[in-house]
Amino acid sequence: MSSERNDQPTAEQEQFTLRMRSLGTRTVLYQQYVASSLGLYNNDYLSIDILHEKGPITAGELSKLTGLATGSVTALIDRLEKNGFVRRQTDPKDRRKVIIVPQYEDKEEVSETYDPLHAKMVELAASYTAEELKLITEFLGKASDVIEEQIYSLSAAPKSKSLPK
């Protein structure tokens, strides 16, 4: 790993960040197509993905993670529960709270949608050594942390009243 710090990024660093941005764009587009194929709104699908990653959480926590208002999250959870993607459950640690539990993993249409991508990603991973995969996985974790920090910064920043024309 390089500890070299320059004011200007190298050509390789610029190319790398462009590839990362491209991957992010493709990921967003893929998520939109998955949501559409499952008959979901994009925010509904993103919430399912967040629940998959974080596990059972409260509606308030989901609101903070998505940036959606609590009323919008309540309607979102109602839709997901109606369609069998989540269920509400009393929090075993605090009976006054209700947590949202993902339960879409058993839904056949979800596995049918994800299985081809999963198989291709496993195939891609198989082309790397265990050591290379460890490094790539470490990088992806750190990149996710950087993006999460940026999301937090953007969500905490004052909103502009209108977009420039």
CATH number at residue 54: 1.10.10.10
Considering the domain boundaries, does residue 128 fall inside one?
A: no
Residue 143 neighbours by CB under 8 Å, 6+ apart: 20
Q: What is the mean pLDDT of residues 89-111?
A: 85
Q: What is the mean pLDDT of residues 58-68?
A: 89
pLDDT over threshold 60, residue 1: no
**pTM for the complete prediction?**
0.75
pLDDT over threshold 90, residue 122: yes
Share of the chain above pLDDT 70, in %: 92
Structural domain tally of the chain? Answer: 1
Instruction: Quote the pLDDT of residue 162.
Output: 61
- Exposure on the CB side of residue 107, measured as CA atoms within 13 A: 15
Considering the domain boundaries, does residue 84 fall inside one?
A: yes
Per-residue burial over 17-34, b if 16 or more Cβ lie within 10 Å, else e, is: eeeeeeeeeeeeeeeeeb
Alpha carbons 63 and 68: distance in angstroms, whole number: 5
Considering the domain boundaries, does residue 143 fall inside one?
A: no
**Residue numbers of the domain that contains 90:** 12-106
Instruction: Quote the pLDDT of residue 110.
Output: 83
pLDDT over threshold 60, residue 3: no
pLDDT over threshold 90, residue 33: yes
pLDDT over threshold 90, residue 128: yes
